[in-house]
Amino acid sequence: MGKCSVRDDWFLKSDGHNNCNTISEWARKHSDDQVFCILCQTSISVSNKGFQALTQHAGSVKHRNAVKIKLNTKQLRLAATSTTVQSSELKEKDNSGIHLYSVCDKSVIAEVMWAFKCIVSNFSFSASDGITDLFQCTYVF
């Protein structure tokens, strides 16, 4: 059997574990036959088992524990901003270009926006009745 190499479409697939996270949530392409798990800080060779190596890794106890902690929606995450900042400005602020965010923020913002919309448009209370069920079906928080 020939050696398997990493395919880009693998990262869009579900890992089949941990409430079915997509592979891209925890993995990055490391080389032609290796994927790096950013949660476990380890490389996974796909040369023999191909995609199955990723689903096997996702099912490991170490990885599942890391998912519970690091992919928890209450966990704050770091993100780099894509603004081009000159190096002299970077020296003044150590954290420029990097910010903390919470995925929960999006749902809080959505709730507040909806409350404002109801007030501004003078929606009746009954107009919002059952809206939670509708939003849960239409948005993923």
Sequence-separated (6 or more) residues with CB below 8 Å from residue 107: 141
CA–CA dist 53, 37 (Å, integer): 12
Q: Report if residue 27 touches Zn ion, rule: CB under 5 A.
A: no
Stretch that binds Zn ion, among 28-36, 56-64, 79-87, 119-127 (CB under 5 A): 56-64
Q: Report if residue 40 touches Zn ion, rule: CB under 5 A.
A: yes
Q: Given the structure tokens 């003078």, which residue do they identify?
A: 122
Enumerate residues 90-109 that contact Zn ion by CB under 5 A.
none
- Cross-strand bridge partners of residue 43: 36
Stretch that binds Zn ion, among 4-12, 63-71, 75-83, 129-137 (CB under 5 A): 63-71
Q: Given the structure tokens 């890794």, which residue do they identify?
A: 57
Q: Report if residue 35 touches Zn ion, rule: CB under 5 A.
A: no
Q: Report if residue 39 touches Zn ion, rule: CB under 5 A.
A: yes
